[in-house]
Structure 1
Amino acid sequence: MNTTPMPRFGLVLIGDELLNGRKQDAHLAAMITRFDERGLELSWVRTIADDGELITQTLTQTFAGPDVVFSFGGIGATPDDLTRQCAAAALGVVTVLHREAEAEIRSRLGSRLNPLHLRMGEFPVGSRIIPNPINGIPGFAIHRHHFVPGFPRMAWPMVEWVLDHDYADYQAPNRTVSQTLVLTDTSEGPLIPLMELLLTEYPDLRLACLPHADGRREVELSLKGDPEHVVAGMRRLRVLLRELTG
C-alpha cells in the first residue's frame, strides 16, 4: 500500500439537465459504492451547468489544489460539450488532436468517420487517454483530473479503470469500517459533551450524529475508521452512555 498521504477525491458533475430536473444524477451513488469497495471515499462533489465560464472557473480552482478529481459530462462533439476546451483554458494550454485518441476513434468508426468525430479526441496538451470499453471514444486525464462522459454505462467502467490503474496503491478494502448505534428517547443536545470526550480519546475516528427530524426522539451515532479503533471506540461509547444515564 502507498505510504504517501491519502489524497482527497472529488466529483464534478456537469450538465444543465442535472440542475433543471430533466435528469436525476446517478453518478454520486454509483461512485460511493465503487470507492467504498476499494477502501476509498469521496470528500466533495460539485454540480454545475453547461456554462463555459463556470466550468473554467471551477476547474481553475480544482487544478490549483492537490485533490484527485473525476469530471462527468461535456466531452462530446456537440456545441454544448465544453469541458475539453474549459479544461485547456483553466490550464492555459490549447487542445490538440491526441494521437492515441485519434487512433482509437478511427479504429472504432472506420468508414463512418467524419471530422466531427475527431473533435472528441481533441484534448488539452499533455493529456493521457482513458479507455472507453463501450464505444471506444476515450476520455482524458491530465494531472490528477480525469474526464469521462456523462453516460453512466460508459463513465462508470472508465472511472473503475482509472482507480485500478492510477490509484491501486491507495486501495485497501476493509481499511475502514463503520458502526452505528441507534439511541431512542433522546436528542443530540445531551450527547454533545459525550461526543466531544470520545473524539478527544479517539481523534482518528470519524463521528457522525444524525437526529431524526420526523418527530421521533431518536439519534443515530456512527463511528468510522480503523476496524480495531472503531470496536474500541464503540465499547467506550457504550460506557459513556451508561454513565450518562446513570
Structure 2
Amino acid sequence: MNDMTSHEAVTACVLVIGNEVLSGRTQDANINYLARELTKLGIRVAECRVIPDIEAEIVDAVNHCRAKYTYVFTTGGIGSTHDDITAQSVAKAFGLGFGTHPEAERRLLAHYGDNANAARMRMAMTPEGADLIDNPVSVAPGFRVENVFVMAGVPVIARAMFDGVKGELKGGKVLVVKTVSTIGISEGMIGEQLRAVQAAHADVDIGSYPFLKFGGFGTNLVVRGEDAAKVNAACTDLKAMIVAAGGEPIDGETEGEELK
C-alpha cells in the first residue's frame, strides 16, 4: 500500500471475536460490511483479525489496535453464555472496573420482565464508564470505551449497532475509486508493466484482481486515490499498458470468479 495522502489518514481495525468463527462453525459477515461502510465515511480499514474467546488474546489485540488505529470495532462475545467474555476483556485492556451498567440493566429488565434471569442480565455488564451502543433489534446494548466500539456478532445486530454510531465517527477524505479491466490478459502477462505504472503514480494505489470468465483469464485493476485527476491519469496508463500487451481495456469491473 502506498502513502496516498499528505495528511494523517483516519484508520480502523475490525476484531472478530469467537471460537465459532475460527472453527468454521460460523461464517463471518461483519468484516465485509464494516469495511464497505467505513470506506464510505473516509475511514480506511487497515487491519482485520479473527481471535478466539481467550481473555489474554482479546486484551492484547485491543490494546495493540487501539494504540495503532483511529478506531477499533469488535464483533462477537457479548452475549449471555459462559464464553461471552469480550466485555470483561475490554475492561481489563483499559484497566477499568467491570460491573452492571444501570441503563443497560434498566433496558434489559424492561424488555425481559419476569423472564430476566442471571444469564440475560450478564449482558448489562460493561466496563466502568462505558457509553452504550443502542441495539434496536434485541435490546441488549453494545458499548464504547474511548476509540473502541464493542458490538454484537450477529450480523443484523452488528449492522444496526453500527448504524447507530456511524454519525459519531470522524472520517477522512473519501477515496476516488475506478476500475479498468481486461479479458484474456492474466496478471503474469503484465506483472512488470504494472509495477512500472504503480511506480509512476505513487499518489494512488493500484490493486490487481485476477478472475476466470468463460474458461479464460482476466484482470480487474482497481485504482484508489484522493485526487480524481491522479486516479484518471493512472487509469489512462493502465489502458495503454493493456493495449501494449495485446488486450482490450474495459472501463469498469468485469464480473468473474475471482482467484484471490
| Band the TM-score falls in, shorter-chain normalisation | 0.7 to 0.9
Which moves more between the two structures, 146-155 or 210-219? 210-219
Distance 1:216 1:58, change over 3 A: same
TM score, norm. by length of structure 1: 0.83
- Give runs of aligned pairs for residues 23-62 of structure 1, distance below 5 A: 23-62=26-65
Whole-angstrom distance in 1 between the partners of 2:187 and 2:8: 37
Q: For residue 234 of structure 1, what is the aligned residue in structure 2?
A: 235
Q: For residue 93 of structure 1, what is the aligned residue in structure 2?
A: 96
Distance 1:211 1:76, change over 3 A: closer
Distance 1:188 1:132, change over 3 A: same
Q: For residue 208 of structure 1, what is the aligned residue in structure 2?
A: 207
- Give runs of aligned pairs for residues 13-162 of structure 1, distance below 5 A: 13-162=16-165
TM score, norm. by length of structure 2: 0.79
**Any gaps of 5 or more consecutive residues in structure 2?**
1-6, 247-260
CA contact (8 A) 2:182 2:242 kept: no
Q: For residue 224 of structure 2, what is the aligned residue in structure 1?
A: 224
CA contact (8 A) 1:178 1:225 kept: no
CA contact (8 A) 1:205 1:223 kept: yes
Q: CA deviation at 1:232?
A: 2.0
Which moves more between the two structures, 135-144 or 56-65? 56-65
CA contact (8 A) 2:9 2:44 kept: no
Question: How many residues are paired up?
Answer: 239
Q: CA deviation at 1:47?
A: 0.8
Whole-angstrom distance in 2 between the partners of 1:186 and 1:31: 30
The Cα offsets for residues 157-189 of structure 1, whole Å up to 9 and x where unpaired, read as 10122222x11x42766x422212225345436
Q: CA deviation at 1:203?
A: 1.8
DSSP-derived class of the 1:233 partner: helix
The Cα offsets for residues 136-161 of structure 1, whole Å up to 9 and x where unpaired, read as 21101111111111111211110122
Whole-angstrom distance in 2 between the partners of 1:140 and 1:186: 46
Q: CA deviation at 1:207?
A: 0.7
Whole-angstrom distance in 1 between the partners of 2:12 and 2:147: 10
DSSP-derived class of the 1:57 partner: helix
Whole-angstrom distance in 1 between the partners of 2:64 and 2:196: 36
Whole-angstrom distance in 2 between the partners of 1:152 and 1:220: 29
CA contact (8 A) 1:14 1:72 kept: yes
Distance 1:119 1:181, change over 3 A: same
Q: CA deviation at 1:220?
A: 3.2
Q: CA deviation at 1:126?
A: 2.7
Distance 1:243 1:170, change over 3 A: same
**Any gaps of 5 or more consecutive residues in structure 1?**
none
Out of 12, 15, 27, the residue aligned to residue 15 of structure 2 is: 12
Whole-angstrom distance in 1 between the partners of 2:199 and 2:97: 50
DSSP-derived class of the 1:104 partner: helix
CA RMSD of aligned residues (A): 2.8
Distance 1:212 1:151, change over 3 A: closer
Q: CA deviation at 1:97?
A: 1.6
Which amino acid counterpart does residue 210 of structure 1 have in structure 2? Answer: Y
Identity %: 25
